Amino acid sequence: MTYKFTIIVPVYNEEDNLERVEKELSSYIKIATVSTSILFVNDGSTDKSQALIEAICERNEAFDYILFKENRGLSAAIKAGFDYVDSELVGYIDSDLQTTPEDFNILLKHIDAYELVTGVRSNRKDSFVKNMSSKIANGIRRAFTHDGMDDTGCPLKIIKTDYAKRIPMFRGLHRFLPAMIMLQNGRVTQVTVQHFPRMAGTAKFGLWNRLLGPLMDCFAYLWMKKKYINYEVSKSSK
C-alpha cells in the first residue's frame, strides 16, 4: 500500500509506553484524514523496547521500524526517519504520548499552504522547572533564528518530505526544524494542540540539557545558516 503520511516515533527505553503507543496510533490510523503509516526509530534502546516493536510491526501492516546499532540521540533518530520515508508527508510524535496523534488531523488541515506545521502545547502538564526551562530555551532560540515559533520542542510536527530530506544532520536539529525549513524558503506555521502528563517511563532531557544544549546549538545554527546553500532544479533529463 502507498501511504501519503508517515509518522516517525523515536524510541529510547520506552518499554512501559509501547503498548499504549500501539493502541493510540492504531486508533489514529483509522480516523486519519490521509493514508498513514508508522515508523519506529529505535535509538539503541537497552530495555525490551526492540522486542516489543518487532511484535507490534508483525501484527500491524502499517507499522515498520529502524533499529540503531547504538544510541545516537533524538536528532539522529528523527533525521534517520526523514531519510528513510518515501511518503509525501512526514511527521513525528514522541513515544511518551504527552501529545495525542489525533491532533495530527488538525495539523493536516494546514499543510497544503505550508511546508511545516508544528504544534504548540496548550496548558502544559509538566513541572514548573520543565516549563520554565523550556520557555527560556525557546526565547534563546527565537533570538538567534527569528523563526517566530513559540514551542519548537513540541513533539508534534508535519513536514513536506522533500523539504525534510534536505535538512542537514546535526546534533540538536529537532529544536531547529522550522528554522531549517525557512532556510529553504519554506513556509511555517504553528497550531495549538493538546498536552497530557507523562503516564510511564522517564524524561530523557533534564534542566542542564534543556538550557545549555539549545544555547550551544544556536551557535551551530548560525554557522550553518551562513554556509547553507539553497537551490532549485529547473530542468532535468530524468
Per-residue pLDDT tens over the stretch 212-236: 666 677 777 777 777 777 777 888 7
Neighbours of 222 (CB within 10 A): 12
Average pLDDT over residues 157-176: 88
* pLDDT above 70 coverage of the chain, percent: 81
Give how far Cα 76 sits from Cα of 59, 72, 171, 172, 195, Å.
27, 6, 7, 9, 24
Vertex 211 angle, CA 224 and 202, to 5° = 110
* 129-154 confidence digits (pLDDT tens): 565 566 666 666 666 666 767 677 78
E strand or H helix that includes residue 116: strand 116-121
Neighbours of 227 (CB within 10 A): 8
- Residue scoring higher pLDDT (28 or 140): 28
User: Residue 48 above 90 pLDDT?
Assistant: yes
pLDDT score for 204:
52
Average pLDDT over residues 125-130: 54
Tell me which residue of 163, 157, 198 sits closest to 183, measured CA to CA.
163
* 179-217 confidence digits (pLDDT tens): 889 989 999 999 999 877 665 555 555 555 555 666 677
Average pLDDT over residues 75-85: 94
pLDDT score for 229:
74
Report how far residue 196's alpha carbon sits from residue 170's, in angstroms, rounded to the nearest whole number: 29
pLDDT score for 198:
61
pLDDT band at 25 (very low <50, low <70, confident <90, very high): very high
pLDDT score for 141:
62
What is the chain's mean pLDDT, rounded? 85
pLDDT score for 130:
60
* Phi-psi domain of 201 (left: phi exceeds 0; alpha: psi -120 through 50; beta: other): left
pTM for the model:
0.82
Report how far residue 27's alpha carbon sits from residue 25's, in angstroms, rounded to the nearest whole number: 5
* 30-44 confidence digits (pLDDT tens): 999 999 999 999 999
Residue extents of the structural domains in the chain: 5-126+154-202
Tell me which residue of 109, 105, 85 sits closest to 32, measured CA to CA.
105
pLDDT score for 145:
65
Report how far residue 50's alpha carbon sits from residue 229's, in angstroms, rounded to the nearest whole number: 38
Tell me which residue of 62, 66, 61, 64 sits closest to 79, measured CA to CA.
66
- Residue scoring higher pLDDT (172 or 54): 54
pLDDT score for 172:
76
DSSP code string of 167-183: SPP-TTGGGSHHHHHHH
Vertex 60 angle, CA 59 and 64, to 5° = 110
Set of cell numbers at residue 76: 539522529
CATH superfamily of 5-126+154-202: Spore Coat Polysaccharide Biosynthesis Protein SpsA; Chain A (3.90.550.10)
